[in-house]
């Protein structure tokens, strides 16, 4: 149950990010909102998976985003909304 609670807290903070005019602040924002160390560690692991270069190796960024979002949902059990928010933030890093 603890893992599910952690994912829930992380998801809440991922979805709380609204400053898309400053997408480079996404990771810091989420980390700053997580009060439990294990949540921060888990978020960093999720972010590392999201940012893996092999996820972003296609020329078409939209294909990369779609494949990465699907992977986050299937492998990590994240909701579509949370996966898309993570992918949106990551895509700015890969532009």
Check pLDDT > 90 for residue 37: yes
Residues 10-35 have a mean pLDDT of 97
Lowest pLDDT segment from 3-7, 9-13, 38-42, 63-67: 3-7
The whole-model pTM stands at 0.92
CA-CA distance, 33 to 54, in Å (whole number)?
Answer: 29
pLDDT-derived band at 57 (thresholds 50, 70, 90) equals very high
Contacts of 83 (CB under 8 A, 6+ apart): 68, 69, 70, 72, 73
CA-CA distance, 47 to 51, in Å (whole number)?
Answer: 6
The domain limits of the chain are 2-94
């Amino acid at each position: 149950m603890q893992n599910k609670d952690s994912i829930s807290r992380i998801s809440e903070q991922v979805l709380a990010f609204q400053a898309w005019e400053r997408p480079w602040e996404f990771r810091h924002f989420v980390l700053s909102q997580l009060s439990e160390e294990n949540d921060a560690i888990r978020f960093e692991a999720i972010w590392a998976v999201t940012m893996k270069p092999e996820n972003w190796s296609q020329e078409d960024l939209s294909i990369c985003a779609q494949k990465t979002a699907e992977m986050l949902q299937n492998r990590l059990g994240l909701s579509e909304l949370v996966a898309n928010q993570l992918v949106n933030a990551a895509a700015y890093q890969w532009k």
